[in-house]
């Protein structure tokens, strides 16, 4: 078969512009709010059923004196990340920008300043695209009614107060703040809403009807037609967002491949969690990135900054480790996607493929002894092979009868490449 006749999966068209997104592949998620002071998960208010009047201790003590978003932006850029998504407001309802619609914002804390603007400026100045995570849930707003996730879901007196709460007044607030953010920080590249709540026998759910999702999407697109919108308004738009698991293949909706992005934490928490120890290794994190791209997807990797406004050393260490690999291997990530379906991938390896440059990337999760063999259709198209990290040639032999390519391997894998990659030039 000719190279151009091979089967390449392409995602369904999207309303917004996803061309940059499916090229850039790798972004930084940032979960930061008052919960960083609790330092035991961003859901601490819900997990511990903390009433707002008690939770306000974190508001009164929020003073991230070491906050310097240029350090965050440098860390993201050096790790090879091309966009960032910041929690403008998480479920606790606290706003990182000087919103005209609430007093529950960073400018009214002891810190006294707008958090969001210098962050957007810092990341944009380093060439990263801007994403806003915005919580649909709001455990602080007086008109937000009780549901299965609400901190007061076991408080009968609070639940009784729902009769005086006007959820539509909260939804108007949600729409107003969305417009405020998109107009003030225009052009925002991604708006990442989170999430619609299921119903139970105790409480009704909150989904697209409650959020007035269709109307909200229309408003958003009237401000920025090219913006990407996620799927958690319960109306699929530009990107599907599998969370904390790795799909088995290209993510599909009704059997149709779509633009998708897996979102993951370094550890067991999105928000800063001082005592949580399940931190993934650099090797695991790199393989999550490679796996995602090998299936045509993106990886959004989360950092939860501390109450002093810093990334903690555990996060910096992993970002540096990822950046060390990306420095020499980002060619196998940016502009790449799933390889043609006709290409069989060797054991313990992952392919990614750049259809523009016609280069195939073989990521070797293990280093076999003696040689590695490419079989079938791919063997017909090999023109030249090099180790990506140092551009050192890898000689090979082609057997037309068996349709195989054998690549002799040195006993030791190349230095400086935790996960070696062969760059295969196709013809």
Evaluate whether 29 touches 133 at the Cβ level (below 8 Å): yes
Which is nearer to ligand FHN, 170 or 273 (by Cβ)? 273
| Least distance (Å) between residue 64 CB and ligand FHN | 19
The nearest distance, CB 32 to ligand FHN, in angstroms, is 11
Judged by CB under 6 A, the residue of 263, 336, 339, 349 near ligand FHN is 263
Q: Which of residues 195, 211, 251, 266 is near ligand FHN by CB under 6 A?
A: 195
Whose CA is closest to 13, among 1, 22, 5?
A: 22
Whole-number minimum distance, CB 335 to ligand FHN, in Å? 26
Least spacing, CB of residue 341 vs ligand FHN, in Å:
30
Q: Would you list the DSSP string of 210-248? A: HHTHHHHHHHHHHH-TT-EE-STTSS--S-B--BSS--S
Q: Which of 194, 230, 261, 406 binds ligand FHN (CB under 6 A)?
A: 194
| Residue of 98, 243, 312, 380 that binds ligand FHN (CB under 6 A) | 243
Closer to ligand FHN by Cβ: residue 307 or 323: 307
Residue with tokens 């920025």: 224
| 302 burial via Cβ count (<10 Å: 0-12, 13-18, 19+) | buried
Q: For ligand FHN, give the closer residue by CB, 259 or 263.
A: 263
Q: Which of 270, 325, 343, 396 binds ligand FHN (CB under 6 A)?
A: 270
Report the residue number, 280 or 328, with the smaller CB distance to ligand FHN: 280
Q: Which two tokens stand for residue 4?
A: 């151009």
The correct pick among 14, 25, 28, 42 for binding ligand FHN (CB under 6 A) is: 42
- Pairing state between β 359-364 and 421-426: antiparallel
Q: Which residue's CB comes closest to ligand FHN? A: 270
Tell me if 332 sits within 8 A of 424, measured CB to CB.
Answer: no
Closest CA to 99 of 178, 192, 193, 215: 178
For CA atoms 63, 65, 70, 74, give the dihedral sign. negative
Q: Name, in order, each residue with C-beta under 8 angstroms of 393's C-beta and a sequence gap of 6 or more.
A: 384, 385, 386
Residues engaged in binding ligand FHN (CB under 6 A):
42-43, 194-195, 243, 263, 270
């Amino acid at each position: 078969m000719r190279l151009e006749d091979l089967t390449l999966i392409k995602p369904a068209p999207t309303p917004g512009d996803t061309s940059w997104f499916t090229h850039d592949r790798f972004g930084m998620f940032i979960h930061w709010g008052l919960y960083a002071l609790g330092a035991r998960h961003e859901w601490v208010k819900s997990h511990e059923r903390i009433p707002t009047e008690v939770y306000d201790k974190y508001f009164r003590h929020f003073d991230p004196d070491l906050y310097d978003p240029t350090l965050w932006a440098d860390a993201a850029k050096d790790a090879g990340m091309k966009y960032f998504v910041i929690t403008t407001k998480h479920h606790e309802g606290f706003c990182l920008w000087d919103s005209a619609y609430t007093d529950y914002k960073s400018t009214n804390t002891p810190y006294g300043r707008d958090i969001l603007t210098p962050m957007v400026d810092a990341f944009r100045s380093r060439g990263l695209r801007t994403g806003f995570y915005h919580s649909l849930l709001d455990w602080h707003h007086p008109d937000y009614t009780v549901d299965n996730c609400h901190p007061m879901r076991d408080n009968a007196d609070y639940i009784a107060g729902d009769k005086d709460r006007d959820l539509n007044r909260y939804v108007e607030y949600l729409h107003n703040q969305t417009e405020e953010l998109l107009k003030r920080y225009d052009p925002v590249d991604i708006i990442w809403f989170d999430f619609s709540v299921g119903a139970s026998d105790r409480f009704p759910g909150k989904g697209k009807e409650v959020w007035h999702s269709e109307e909200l999407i229309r408003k958003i697109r009237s401000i920025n037609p090219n913006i990407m919108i996620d799927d958690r308004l319960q109306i699929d738009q530009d990107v599907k967002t599998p969370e904390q698991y790795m799909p088995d293949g290209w993510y599909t909706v009704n059997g149709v491949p779509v633009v998708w992005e897996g979102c993951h934490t370094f550890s067991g928490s999105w928000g800063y969690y001082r005592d949580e120890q399940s931190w993934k290794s650099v090797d695991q994190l790199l393989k999550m990135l490679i796996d995602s791209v090998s299936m045509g997807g993106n990886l959004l990797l989360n950092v939860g900054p501390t109450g002093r406004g810093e990334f903690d050393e555990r996060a910096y260490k992993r970002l540096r480790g990822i950046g060390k690999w990306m420095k020499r291997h980002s060619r196998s990530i940016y502009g790449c996607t799933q390889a043609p379906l006709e290409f069989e991938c060797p054991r313990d390896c992952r392919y990614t493929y750049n259809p523009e440059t016609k280069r195939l990337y073989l990521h070797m999760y293990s280093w076999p002894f003696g040689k590695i063999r490419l079989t079938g259709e791919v063997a017909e198209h090999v023109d030249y092979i090099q180790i990506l990290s140092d551009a050192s040639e890898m000689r090979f032999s082609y057997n037309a009868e068996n349709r195989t390519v054998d690549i002799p391997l040195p006993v030791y894998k190349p230095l400086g490449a935790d996960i070696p990659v062969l760059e295969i030039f196709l013809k």
